[in-house]
Amino acid sequence: MTGTTLSQALVQARAFLDSRDVATAGLDARVLLQAAAGVSHEALVMRGDEVLEPHAARTFENFLKSRASGKPVSRIIGHREFWGLRLGVCGETLDPRPDTETLVEAVLTRMGRGTSPYIRDLGTGSGAILLALLSALPQARGLGSDLSFGAVRMARRNALETGLSNRAAFVMSDWGQVPARLADIVVSNPPYIARGELPGLMRDVRDHDPIRALDGGADGLDPYRRIASQLPLVARPGALIAFEIGHTQDDQVRSILGDAGARVSGTGLGVVRDMAGRPRVIVARAPRR
Ligand SMILES: C[S@@+](CC[C@H](N)C(=O)[O-])C[C@H]1O[C@@H](n2cnc3c(N)ncnc32)[C@H](O)[C@@H]1O
């Protein structure tokens, strides 16, 4: 691509990714070119006649090869946009998904404005859910925890880079087993794929998301059982609980939470659907004791 302009590079890259059956060829080509050339979307439009620097051209070619081999864009450029925040990702973090924004929205629509809740995010990964909530609730504070050291390190870095580190802490912990004050809001997007289904996952997911972020045990529900049993350790009585679920798990997760004494029906409680209309989040209230 040496000697080509930004516009030409974009057209060629799109055609290349199209020919390799990348479904989102146009978008991916643009995002990868922006990252390789270090330019914004606007600059790409305004300065399309500029010639791509040789170093950027080489980087872009390598990016395109990686994408064509199935590597997700976020894994190539090292970050992803979630709830308007630019979050770093690494080999030990899940690539945060747009579906998870359903959970963030479900919590925000149930929170009084101007409140100052304390939030626990169990299995925080990149810190996506906690940082999104803190960015929308300027008086909130929170603690994200994860069993993975690399995830905790990345979440801390993301908190710093999004300017939220004064209200967010991150620690290593097996779910809720770290002593902390009882939370007003408990959120989690735990691993929820049944172990037997892992080999059949899409290549993007199976080959690039960490297994610890996916494997939910024999029936995909083990983490919900563990977290539900720990609710008295992490949630104040009546705290808002919001868990992401696989789209066929609504009945089971409601039962698990109900058996643990949580309230799973009533105004604002129960199942919340994602943009595609599938069950995506269970909202409940923590046991009253
Ligand atoms: C599906 S990922 C969700 C990550 C992030 N919350 C998000 O929504 O993008 C699940 C996370 O749970 C973490 N995890 C798995 N087992 C855990 C455990 N026993 N205790 C704490 N975290 C755990 C994984 O390391 C992973 O970061």
| Beta-carbon count within 10 A of 80 CB | 22
pLDDT digit string (tens) for 15-55? 999 999 999 999 999 999 999 999 999 999 899 999 999 99
pLDDT of residue 226: 98
Question: Contact 220/249 with Cβ under 8 angstroms?
Answer: yes
Asked if 76 contacts 67 with a C-beta cutoff of 8 angstroms, the reply is: yes
What number of residues does the chain have? 289
Give the model's confidence band at 196: pLDDT under 50 very low, under 70 low, under 90 confident, else very high: very high
The answer to whether residue 113 scores a pLDDT higher than 80 is no
Asked whether the predicted pLDDT for residue 112 surpasses 90, the reply is: no
Ligand 1: residues within 6 Å at CB? 94, 96, 100, 123-126, 128-129, 145-148, 151, 174-175, 189-191, 212-213
CA 124 – ligand 1 centroid, Å: 6
For each of the domains in the chain, give its residue range(s) and CATH number, in order of start.
6-77 (1.10.8.10), 79-285 (3.40.50.150)
Query: What is the pLDDT at residue 289?
Result: 73
Q: Note the pTM of the prediction, 2 decimals.
A: 0.94
* C-alpha 278, offset from chain centre: 18
Quote the tokens at residue 1.
Answer: 């691509």
SS in 3 state form for 102-166? HHHHHHHHHCCCCCCCEEEEECCCCCHHHHHHHHHCCCCEEEEEECCHHHHHHHHHHHHHCCCCC
Is the pLDDT confidence value at 1 over 80?
A: no
Q: Per-residue pLDDT averaged across 260-270, rounded?
A: 96
